[in-house]
Structure 1
Amino acid sequence: MLAEQGLSHLIQSLNVLYLLIGAVMILGMHAGFAFLEAGTVRRKNQVNALVKIIVDASVATVAYFLIGYPIAHKVFLLKPAADYLPTQGLELVRFFFLLMFAACISAIVSGGVAERMKFKPYITAGFFLAGIVYPLFEALIWGERFSPEFQSWVKHNFGAPIHDFAGSMVVHALGGIIALPAILLLGPRMGRYVEGKSRPIPISNIPLLALGSWILIIGWFGFNVMSSQNIETISGLVAVNSLMATAGGIIGGTLFGKNDPGFIHNGALAGLVAICAGSDIVNPVGAFVIGLVAAWIFVKAFVYEQEKLKIDDVLGVVPLHGLNGLWGGIAAGIFGQKFLWGVGGVSLLSQIFGALLTTVYGLSAGYILYGTLKAIFGLRLSEEEEFQGSDLSIHHITAYPEERIKF
């Protein structure tokens, strides 16, 4: 009896540590989001890129603790500290882990609206994204509030529940699709399109962009592997599939992007976005193909979005996260089949339905949220503020203040 109690206590302790490590790894990913954006935007907007992500994470923490987590999982965290001791705070670290997923939504949107959005409506949107918009969708696919009944309905009608192991659709596609209405409501940056002609704004700092990509790649193994949320179900298959999708994305970015460093480093992220959904059920060869296709989707859709549709999505978050998140969800329904060496138990129809649901919900939520904020606060910096740069206009300092000092 004592041995069983000791073993149970050890497993509980390991689960707490397991989720805590995963949460911290994903927290580190937010530094990756920040540096990826700082390296992409112009020098006059680098401070704002860094500030937005760190404030986002803090605002999301409050919103998800008080509102979002209870909505999705029917667990209220406002109770005496002593109540957490019997389980060693397992529910708290689960909140911490899932909070990091919620905070990704604003971080994704940030890259699309960069260089011209006001700070107040941006941060206000982040509160509602983490507190209401994301948790309602999370509750439908993953959470305890709506998921059992909804997924049972999906299984009855399409053959299997919607499978999204680590959030290709629930996190990435949703964030990328929510970003689209915000980008359209803002309009393009000054000088991006002149008299109907595209004038691309070059990446400001390749080393910072590369650093952001590397930080995201490393943290993503916590994002994917720890999504099991239990050390007894940890899977080396998830880890290797994440690695293979990364390789596929990088090689695809190199080939389809014609050696462009921006496409190469973002190709890695495209592969990782796409593999999240099926990382626990596809074969490593399938994971590589998923990553390769994801890089192709990103390169082609980014160019089409920017040059043909003239949508000024600064970091390409709609194709990178939105389209590749949808591709990842559908790919799980293809490469997860047993005849393609997958684990099985997944329905392509269910995955397509999940992708359509994500698209409709994301577009609706994005237009309602950012349309409301535009009516109340306005979304965009003035022309003078945008010309000066958000660093000086909002934060009253640049990333390189010594350059402004005359010795």
Structure 2
Amino acid sequence: MSVTASQVHGAVQTLTQSSDTLFLLLGAIMVFLMHAGFAFLEVGTVRHKNQVNALVKILADFGISALAYFFIGYWVAYGANFFADAQTLSQGNGYELVKFFFLLTFAAAIPAIVSGGIAERARFYPVLIATFFTVGLVYPVFEGMIWNGNFGLQAWFESQFGYGFHDFAGSVVVHGVGGWIALVAVLFLGMRKGRIRAGKHTNFAPSNIPFLALGAWILCVGWFGFNVMSAQTLNGISGLVAMNSLMAMVGGIVAALIAGKNDPGFIHNGPLAGLVAVCAGSDLMHPIGALITGAIAGALFVYLFTYLQNRTKIDDVLGVWPLHGVCGAWGGVAAGIFGQTALGGLGGVSITVQLLGTITGIAVALIGALIVYGIIDKMSGLRLSEEDEFNGADLAIHKISSTSED
């Protein structure tokens, strides 16, 4: 029995499709696991009376994010919906469905980032409403601009400067947008009670360093799915992305170790700062450029978080604005610097475009967050009552403590 060329081609195509589907599914699972990292990072940082709330918020946010992105956000970003029959949806081994799952885990990172900034004093359901609109509308607007060419922004960049805005895995699209949205939410909520005593700033110590460390480790491991599998196909996978992610992580660790003077909170957030910053240019940079990018991010996080906590009224509990907002913006610009062939990169990127694209992402995040959180704050309020905040979100919202009293 002879095998025709078309049969061989069909078999190869089926194998390729199924392999790409499995590849992206594994990436989606790895990034989904990162949400456990967000949860434990927050659990280890907040005080004991708010640990249950931290866990519940992250999972509830993911559920609301899935609904918002399924029915609205994915359509806004990519012009696609899921209202066809199951047979149509499952064509190509269901690759498009798995792609949605993968991109959903990115979208759901937005409220997970915000959660760490507003911890210990935010009301539960108003925050979930904010999650629905930020994931359903605010984030997809910029996501679609950069990753789907919506509104002609990328076309304009290319016509004016010769290159589009490059953000391979979301330094700006995901982390930058999430961090700047969080800043707005933090400012609306104000400082936690007890942070100012006798006219001086008082910092609340992390409640559980092992949980904080566990969260950081989970995030670090999952991040290789976040970055490497942003290629979205086996054919596009690059060992350079993995190497650059590793080196940026190492740069963040060492910089935070030195700048943070052995503080365990800084040391475990340092690698996350490096990984945030390298997302955009991880497919372009030389590993030494990635190392420098991560080191600058690690130092930026330590110094800016210290300044915020000790000198301002911006009470960002986990430091998500410096970690994701500022380091994400730095990553967008760094891709334009260390992606240049003169610095060992692969080229094909413009510093000017990287700067303009980063500013655009910040603007979309700030304007969108001001509208969403401003309206919700006016309609229902965002903050717990003083009594509920004193008792803790665990008892006030969930009627249970993280530890049993024998």
Same topology, TM > 0.5: yes
1:59 and 2:71 are equivalent in the alignment: no
CA contact (8 A) 1:74 1:145 kept: no
1:21 aligns with: 26
The counterpart of 2:93, out of the listed 88, 98, 105, is 88
1:264 and 2:267 are equivalent in the alignment: yes
C-alpha separation in 2, matches of 1:144 and 1:157? 15
- Cα pair distance change 1:79/1:186, threshold 3 Å: same
- The DSSP-based 3-state class of the residue aligned with 1:114 is coil
1:122 aligns with: 127
Amino-acid identity (%) = 55
Amino acid at match of 1:315: L
1:295 aligns with: 298
Q: CA deviation at 1:94?
A: 0.5
CA contact (8 A) 1:15 1:230 kept: yes
1:388 and 2:388 are equivalent in the alignment: no
Amino acid at match of 1:377: S
Q: Encode CA deviations 1:228-264: one digit per residue, 9 max, x unaligned.
A: 1111010000001001111111111101100100000
Provide the aligned length of Structure 1 versus Structure 2: 401
User: Aligned-pair RMSD on alpha carbons?
Assistant: 0.9
C-alpha separation in 1, matches of 2:18 and 2:142? 30
- The DSSP-based 3-state class of the residue aligned with 1:162 is coil
1:355 aligns with: 358
Amino acid at match of 2:263: D
The counterpart of 2:239, out of the listed 218, 236, 241, is 236
Amino acid at match of 1:188: M
- The DSSP-based 3-state class of the residue aligned with 1:89 is helix
1:110 and 2:115 are equivalent in the alignment: yes
Q: Encode CA deviations 1:97-151: one digit per residue, 9 max, x unaligned.
A: 00011000000000000000000111111111111111111111112544xx321
After TM superposition, the score normalised by the length of structure 1 is 0.97
1:223 aligns with: 226
Mapping of residues 37-56 of structure 1, within 5 Å: 37-56=42-61
Gapped regions of structure 1 (runs ≥ 5): none
1:179 and 2:182 are equivalent in the alignment: yes
CA contact (8 A) 1:71 1:145 kept: no
After TM superposition, the score normalised by the length of structure 2 is 0.97
2:209 aligns with: 206
Gapped regions of structure 2 (runs ≥ 5): 1-5
Q: CA deviation at 1:199?
A: 0.6
- The DSSP-based 3-state class of the residue aligned with 2:400 is coil
C-alpha separation in 1, matches of 2:292 and 2:227? 18
2:171 aligns with: 168
2:3 aligns with: none
- Cα pair distance change 1:201/1:69, threshold 3 Å: same
- The DSSP-based 3-state class of the residue aligned with 1:210 is helix
C-alpha separation in 2, matches of 1:196 and 1:357? 38
Q: Encode CA deviations 1:319-364: one digit per residue, 9 max, x unaligned.
A: 0000000000000000000010000000000011012112222111
C-alpha separation in 2, matches of 1:46 and 1:91? 37
Greater alpha carbon shift after TM alignment, 304-313 vs 379-388: 304-313
CA contact (8 A) 2:149 2:155 kept: no
C-alpha separation in 2, matches of 1:300 and 1:250? 14
Q: Encode CA deviations 1:375-394: one digit per residue, 9 max, x unaligned.
A: 11100000100000000000
